[in-house]
């Protein structure tokens, strides 16, 4: 990565384009956060001037209080985080282990299966949502209340169908392909089993791709809308994006909408800012392997 060296003497003008571009990337988010602090009428009045970016006028956290009163925001956030985290963890395991098998092991049907799986890369959830709904409605489940049929209104219906996907497999396959084969050979000669090689030799080297896959999966899951809308008829299982609909009443309280948008965005932003070095480093090193 580019570690800035102090030996260079930067002139201030080199920062001008950098700052201008930074403003372009920041202004909508700045607008969102500032608006969340203003009453709706002021927010709308401010939205066509530089006041939109400034914490001026009647500033308060009232919108946040109102948002929590309107909808169970904490529940929605919990659901989203729980669903997303579980799915990411499962997907990382299932897909990395499958990719490991595709790249390092020899078995009959391997290439066919891998090709078919990777072809599904081009199928977005929107176009299979309806048949998927009909399918999950027929599936059995054993839970706390015993045996039941149909997965609607549950966490599993939002988790299991997404706990493996072609993109994640693809990322791991691409990464594993470039690892030196000698590592495997050496471990085999020492008598290590395939599972041992997977978690003792390969996965410790797969940090970057794991992080990349985790980020992409996290974003895809956290932002899901159509599917949870179709399968959560009970409030207790709704995630944040469905919760957003609670705010689109007649006479929309835009201040509250902005507060809610901020509430569902800021956790992700903070998570990103804390981990951004690892995030970007990981994507970058996966990129090379492409």
Q: Which of residues 117-136 bind other proteins (CB under 8 A)?
A: 117, 119-124, 126-136
Q: How far is the CB of 74 from other proteins (least distance, A)?
A: 5
Nearer to other proteins, 31 or 141 (CB): 31
Site residues (CB under 8 A) for other proteins, limited to 83-102:
94-95, 97-98, 100-102
75 to 72, 80, 231, 243, 276: CA distances (angstroms): 5, 9, 17, 10, 27
Q: Which residue stretch of 57-65, 140-148, 199-207, 242-250 sits at the interface with other proteins (rule: CB under 8 A)?
A: 242-250
Contacts 24+ apart (CB under 8 A), 44-50: 44/254
Q: How far is the CB of 101 from other proteins (least distance, A)?
A: 4
Nearer to other proteins, 60 or 137 (CB): 137
**Count of residues that bind other proteins according to CB under 8 A:** 129
Q: Which residue stretch of 40-48, 55-63, 140-148, 199-207 sits at the interface with other proteins (rule: CB under 8 A)?
A: 40-48
Verify binding: residue 153, other proteins, rule CB under 8 A.
yes
Nearest to 81 by CA among 267, 280, 272, 227: 267
Nearest to 88 by CA among 279, 283, 218: 218
Verify binding: residue 18, other proteins, rule CB under 8 A.
yes
Burial of 287 (0-12, 13-18, 19+ CB in 10 A): exposed
Letters for 251-280 (x = contact with other proteins by CB under 8 A, - = none) are xx-x--x---x--xx--xx-xxx--xx-xx
- DSSP alpha helices (H): ranges in 5-109? 15-35, 40-46, 62-70, 73-104
Verify binding: residue 2, other proteins, rule CB under 8 A.
yes
Nearest to 197 by CA among 181, 218, 211, 212: 181
Only one residue has tokens 């080199």, namely 14
| Position among 85, 89, 160, 179 found at the interface with other proteins (CB under 8 A) | 160
Q: How far is the CB of 60 from other proteins (least distance, A)?
A: 20
Burial of 43 (0-12, 13-18, 19+ CB in 10 A): buried
Nearer to other proteins, 22 or 61 (CB): 22
């Amino acid at each position: 990565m580019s570690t800035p060296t102090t030996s260079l003497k930067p002139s201030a003008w080199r920062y001008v384009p950098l700052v201008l571009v930074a403003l372009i990337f920041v202004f909508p988010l700045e607008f969102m956060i500032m608006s969340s602090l203003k009453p709706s009428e002021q927010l709308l009045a401010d939205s066509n001037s530089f006041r939109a970016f400034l914490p001026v006028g009647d500033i308060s956290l009232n919108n946040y209080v109102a948002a929590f009163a309107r909808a169970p925001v904490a529940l929605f956030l919990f659901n989203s985080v729980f669903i997303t985290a579980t799915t990411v963890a499962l997907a990382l395991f299932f897909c990395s282990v499958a990719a490991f098998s595709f790249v390092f092991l020899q078995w009959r049907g391997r290439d066919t299966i891998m090709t078919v799986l990777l072809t599904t890369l081009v199928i977005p959830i929107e176009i299979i949502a309806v048949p998927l709904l009909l399918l999950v409605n027929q599936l059995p489940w054993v839970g706390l209340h015993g045996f039941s049929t149909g997965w609607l209104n549950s966490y599993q219906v939002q988790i299991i169908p997404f706990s493996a996907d072609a993109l994640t497999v693809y990322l791991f396959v691409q990464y594993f392909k470039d690892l030196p084969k000698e590592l495997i050979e050496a471990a085999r000669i020492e008598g290590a089993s395939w599972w041992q090689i997977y978690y003792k030799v390969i996965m410790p080297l797969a940090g970057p791709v794991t992080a990349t896959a985790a980020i992409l999966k996290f974003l895809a899951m956290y932002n899901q809308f159509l599917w949870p809308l179709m399968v959560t008829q009970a409030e207790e299982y709704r995630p944040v994006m469905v919760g957003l609909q609670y705010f689109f009443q007649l006479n929309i309280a835009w201040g509250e909408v902005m507060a809610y948008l901020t509430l569902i965005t800021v956790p992700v932003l903070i998570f990103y800012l804390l981990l951004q070095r690892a995030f970007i480093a990981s994507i970058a090193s996966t990129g090379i392997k492409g």
